[in-house]
Amino acid sequence: MTIKTFEELEVFRRAYRLSLEVHRLSLTFPAIEQYALGDQVRRARKSICANLAEGFGRQRQSKADFARFVTIAMGAADEMRVWARYCLDLGYIDQKTWEHWRDEYQEIARMLHGLAASLVGKKRD
């Protein structure tokens, strides 16, 4: 089956669902954190989905360009693991939430790595 839109990518769907969860919870952070940690968390988690969408749109011109955007999304997934740890250590999320976010972003990064590898292995258009 050929994937026609970025919304069909399982990694996009997974990252998008998690990004909504993270966004909602980040809005409960203390006011002092809304423009600091809260903003960083909201930007990083959106970056994963946005880079997948942009890269998918560019793949017609270049699979390598898509792979580059997937790699950027991978970096954002790893970045979210750092922000999640800050959220835990500052007391804004509990241990269970942190473990869920950590594990999900680790799996998303793994999926992105697989996607990037599959793109690099394909012949460039």
Can you give the CATH number for the domain in which 60 is found? Answer: 1.20.1440.60
Tens digit of each residue's pLDDT, the chain (125 residues): 588 999 999 999 999 999 999 999 999 999 989 888 988 899 888 999 999 999 999 988 888 899 999 999 999 999 999 999 999 999 999 999 999 999 999 999 999 999 999 988 754 44
Neighbour-count burial of 78, counting CB atoms closer than 10 A to its CB (0-12 exposed, 13-18 middle, 19+ buried): middle
Number of domains in the chain: 1
Q: What is the pLDDT of residue 125?
A: 43
CA distance 111 to 31: 34
Note down the domain range covering 109: 27-120
Q: What is the pLDDT of residue 8?
A: 95
* 40 occurs within a structural domain: yes
* 8 occurs within a structural domain: no
Q: What is the pLDDT of residue 23?
A: 93
